[in-house]
């Protein structure tokens, strides 16, 4: 194979175009990251429907679009398992609502929400002679992102399941609340609670 036919190692994964937009609307360039520890674990690309190809390798999931990871998290309940197209439509509608309310790129709002909802400390149980003692530990950056997505998805589920609140509205309110560090938002309150318990166990 000639040198000019070699694939470019710096090309975006999955063959995505550099100028591609999420949902054909939202720019994926120039996203600001406020937390350097989680920046490499928050990938912003168009949703590629990876079909779980990352599942066999521990760190591959961080190469998947943060939007797709959030969509996958929203599906992880009995009622919503496998409904990816429906969940995708809800997230698309929620992004429109976020843009109307904040006049910001909704991808930026999601990234900021994930950073704000990511706990920095948590507790583990250590056994000393049969006695279980809580101990505060730092949270690894990848786990911080995982936990933030979990809290955001749980907040959406609590707001929308068996309530008159539409799913898109619940997603928009949870993401904007977390992005503004509103402690009334489920994700931020869970983060604060984890860090409070960890501080007491130091």
CATH number of the domain to which 146 belongs: 1.10.455.10
> What is d(CA 72, CA 9) in angstroms, rounded to the nearest whole number?
28
| 154-195 pLDDT, tens digit each | 999 998 888 898 999 999 999 999 999 999 999 999 999 999
Structural domain includes residue 47: no
Structural domain contains residue 126: no
Q: Considering only the C-alpha atoms of the chain, give the largest distance between any 2 of them, rounded to a whole number of Å.
A: 66
Other beta carbons within 10 angstroms of residue 15's beta carbon come to 9
Domain membership flag for residue 85: yes
Task: Give CA torsion, residues 60, 66, 68, 69, to 10 deg.
Answer: 60
Q: Which pTM value belongs to this model?
A: 0.82
* Residue, of 15 and 46, whose pLDDT is higher: 46
Q: Of 138, 156, 157, 147, whose CA–CA distance to 190 is shortest?
A: 147
Give, in degrees to the nearest 5, the angle at Cα 119 between 183 and 81.
85
Which domain, by its residues, includes 155? Answer: 64-119+141-183
In a domain, 161, yes or no: yes
What pLDDT band is residue 2 in, cutting at 50, 70 and 90? Answer: very low
Sequential DSSP letters for 133-188: EEEEEEPPHHHHHHHHHHHHHHHHHHHHTTSSS-HHHHHHHHHHHHHTT-TTSHHH
Residues 137 and 123: beta-carbon distance below 8 Å: yes
Percent of the chain with pLDDT over 90: 46
- The answer as to whether 19 is a domain residue is no
Q: How confident is the model at residue 18 (pLDDT cuts 50, 70, 90)?
A: low
CA distance 61 to 54: 5
The answer to whether residue 87 is domain-embedded is: yes
Overall number of domains in the chain: 1
Q: 31 in a domain, yes or no? A: no
Going by pLDDT thresholds of 50, 70 and 90, the confidence category of residue 9 is: very low
Residue 131 belongs to a domain: no
Measuring CA to CA, which residue among 100, 97, 112, 96 is closest to residue 25?
96
Residue 8 has a pLDDT of 43
């Amino acid at each position: 194979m000639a040198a000019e036919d070699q694939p470019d190692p710096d090309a975006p994964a999955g063959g995505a175009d550099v100028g591609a937009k999420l949902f054909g609307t939202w720019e994926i360039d120039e996203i600001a990251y406020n937390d350097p520890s989680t920046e490499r674990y928050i990938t912003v690309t168009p949703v590629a429907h990876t079909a779980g190809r990352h599942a066999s390798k521990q760190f591959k999931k961080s190469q998947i679009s943060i939007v797709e990871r959030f969509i996958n998290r929203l599906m992880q309940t009995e009622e919503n398992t496998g409904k990816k197209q429906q969940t995708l439509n809800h997230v698309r509608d929620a992004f429109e609502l976020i843009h109307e309310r904040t006049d910001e790129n909704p991808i930026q709002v999601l990234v900021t929400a994930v950073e704000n909802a990511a706990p920095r400390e948590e507790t583990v149980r250590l056994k000393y002679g049969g006695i279980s003692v809580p101990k505060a530990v730092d949270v690894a950056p990848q786990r911080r992102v995982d936990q933030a997505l979990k809290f955001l998805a749980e907040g959406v589920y609590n707001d929308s399941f068996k309530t008159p609140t539409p799913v898109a509205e619940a997603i928009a309110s949870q993401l904007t609340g977390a992005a503004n560090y509103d402690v009334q938002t489920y994700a931020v309150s869970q983060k604060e609670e984890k860090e409070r318990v960890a501080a007491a166990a130091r």
